[in-house]
Amino acid sequence: MPAAPIQFYNRLTRRLETEAVYGEGPLRFVYENPLGKLALDVLVKRALFSDWYGRQMDDPKSAARIRPFIEKFGVDEAEFAEPASSYSTFNDFFYRQLKPAARPIVADPSAVAFPADGRHFVIPDVSQCRDFFIKGVRFDLPALLGDAALAERFEKGSVLISRLCPTDYHRFHFPCGGTADAPRLIHGPLFSVSPIAFLQRPSIFWENKRYVTRLMTGLFGEVLLLEVGATCVGSVVHTSAPDTPVLKGDEKGYFRFGGSCFITVFEPGRIRFCDDLLENSAQNREVYARMGDVAAWGQ
């Protein structure tokens, strides 16, 4: 049987679209084929593999991949802060900066902005999420946060999962203003965060290596920000200073090569997600939207 295409709702075009998956063949082999699953366990999920691949993307020879990648996936060069020819490696291109006008930040102080470009999925009340993509799989907040007391405070909170594909802009930003502490590292493997992977193993989100940051805000209370690593992500780089006030839309950091994920967790009763997110997530379908656009409203 042919593999089912990955569909998402595109907020920009207001249509259902099919995702062009970077490296789809190898991904499906590793996560859907019994022999591939053996390779996954022995090699692919391990940090050594991703470190090795990340070094390949830092090699000057990798710059030859930039132009074919732009053309194959239709990446908009008009948004780049620097011309494509200025990037000396594929990783330089991968975590490129954009012109400020390319990602306007929603100005309304009661609005929460998307922290990253990508395909977004929401859980309005994590305590009620008992079928996380697969029937009978409960979203495991204590495992995700690695802190039982913190998880208890957020057990009826709201979750925004922002999945970045290799074709996306790979810098992540603060979804609202406040003061953030230093990111706390939780060690773990590096499974892919593609739907090809998490439809087989939804626990990837609370298994993978990740960082947890606590952001203290006014209107939205305490907000938890998590960067989740994935296969072939060389590293997560934090560019913001801890314990320093930040504004909505300020850069928090960037992912090096690979698809990755940013998770935002809100206290109970603080926000309400936009209708398109609620409607599509109820059907286990992601919504494509860009960093800076409105994701939720304060209550």
Give catalytic status of residue 117 as yes or no. Answer: yes
- 3-state secondary structure at position 283: coil
Q: 277 in the Ramachandran plot: left (φ > 0), alpha (ψ -120 to 50) or beta?
A: alpha
- Secondary-structure breakdown of the chain: helix, strand, coil percentages, each rounded to the nearest 5: 30, 25, 45
Angle 70-210-28 from CA coordinates, rounded to 5°:
50
Residue 94's contacts (CB-CB under 8 Å, 6 or more residues apart) are 57, 166, 170, 256, 257
Catalytic entry in 173, 192, 194, 281? 173
3-state secondary structure 91-129: HHHHCCCECHHHCCCCCCCCEEECCCCEEEEEECCHHHC
Catalytic entry in 120, 260, 281, 293? 260
Count other C-beta atoms under 10 Å from residue 3's C-beta: 12
Residue 288's contacts (CB-CB under 8 Å, 6 or more residues apart) are 8, 9, 10, 11, 12, 17, 118, 119, 120
- The token duo for 155 is 């057990």
Give catalytic status of residue 62 as yes or no. Answer: no
Give catalytic status of residue 140 as yes or no. Answer: no
Count other C-beta atoms under 10 Å from residue 299's C-beta: 11
- Burial of residue 248, with CB atoms counted within 10 A of its CB: 0-12 exposed, 13-18 middle, 19 or more buried: buried
Name the residue with tokens 């990837």.
204
Catalytic entry in 50, 62, 117, 162? 117
**CA 297/CA 197 separation, integer angstroms:** 31
- Are 37 and 201 in contact by the 8 Å Cβ rule? The answer is no
- Burial of residue 32, with CB atoms counted within 10 A of its CB: 0-12 exposed, 13-18 middle, 19 or more buried: middle
Give me the active site residues, please.
Answer: 117, 173, 260
